[in-house]
Structure 1
Amino acid sequence: MNDELQRTLSEIIESGSQSNPAVNALISDYAKFHAVLAMVGGCLVLIFAWLSIIFWTRFKSSPKISRLKWGFERKAYFVFGFSSSSVALFMILIVVANLTNTLNPLHGFSLLDFSFKISSGETYKDELRYAFTEWIQSGNENIPSIIQERFNKRIEFHTTKAIVSGILLILFAGLSVYIWNALVRRAKSNDSKWRFKEKACFVFGSATVVLALLMMVIVMANTQAAFAPKTLSMINLFNS
């Protein structure tokens, strides 16, 4: 186990990171890593809060079949209202947790583990690890080319992934809105018997909601990584 970098970082952090530009760059990136997620999460809180208001409003105005029995329209609005509210509350927790690390990055950064075992046959990864260690110990503001190349590749990879996932998110969300609106209109037509077409639409509509949420998570994660590549690179490099 090589814990030379871990000891170096601990000593620098305890003595004050202002004296080491390399560590300052990493801590700044760590703060940005969490700030990006806090900002994206904040936007999603507003979006899902707005959606929950819409769905709960429509739920209250939707007709009841009887006191104990709801029609499809009312059930759909209840499920979407509850889901939107739940996601909004969950995103609030995400925002609060990431704001804590954004405002006080030194504490969270000091908890990261940068010790590592020598890889068997993975010479490139070991080379990167030693380059990281030497860079931190040198305190040089200039990032070594091998590490900068790693950062650039990560930015390119995650930016591309975020864009593709964002496009898929829009497609799945739009398709979901179209399918569920069609099902609600179908339910309002008072034709209670569902044929194969309606059942298939229900399955596909449910799938598009799940896929849209999945794409949302992927967009968040890759946006975070694209804006703050140093932190994720170090985490992946020293914890794999």
Structure 2
Amino acid sequence: MSEQAESHLLIVDDDARIRALLQKFLIRQGFYVSAARDAAHARRLLDGLDFDLIVLDVMMPGEDGVSFTRALRAESSTPIMLLTARGDTDDRIAGLEAGADDYLPKPFEPKELLLRINAILRRVPQSPETSDGPKVLHLGDVRYDVERAELWHGAEQVRLTATEVQLMRIFASCPGEAVSRSKLVEDLGRDRDQAQERAVDVQITRLRRKIEADPKQPRYLQTVRGSGYMLAPD
């Protein structure tokens, strides 16, 4: 049984056979699972239900998975796992830039999907955390509440994805210290390979847009040449 049992998942795929197989497998792992055949069907389910994670195929008729991810991110921080064609790197990068938390190339083993789902769900903050470090980090006009895992710009809260929450948690635990890309991949629960390090680079770029006044010349989430990335609060 999954360690994240009782979470409610939404499977969105236009292939009825894949939908049925994934639904049956994930229910056996202890999840509640709903399924949708396309983005429009998924929207109707999302209007009435809350989900803990969305597993979303990129290639669908009508609105594709990347466009749907971008639309969801405008109003929701629900974690999103994209299913992509194995050789289509552009779709993976576009999906991450749109706000997806991770991707899995097809074809895949169901057990690998389960591992990825559990890794994403572990990133979602379950309750406020306490630490001996600063409670709030100031990043220019932005502040990060460490205990609540919340990013604020003035009086407006900035929505973070589950992956961005985990990245901020990692950086906030060691402000002023560089964290290597390989360590970030490991702490995010991903396989250690160059593709995942590139995926982390995309997530960092997205996070900078939410923190930096000028994301192209980052002041607070810095690149440390040869060492990785570093959060440098005021």
TM-score relative to the length of structure 2: 0.23
Q: Which has the higher contact order (CA 8 A, sep 6+)?
A: 1
> Based on CA coordinates, which of the two structures has the bigger radius of gyration?
1
Q: Which structure has the highest helix share of the two?
A: 1
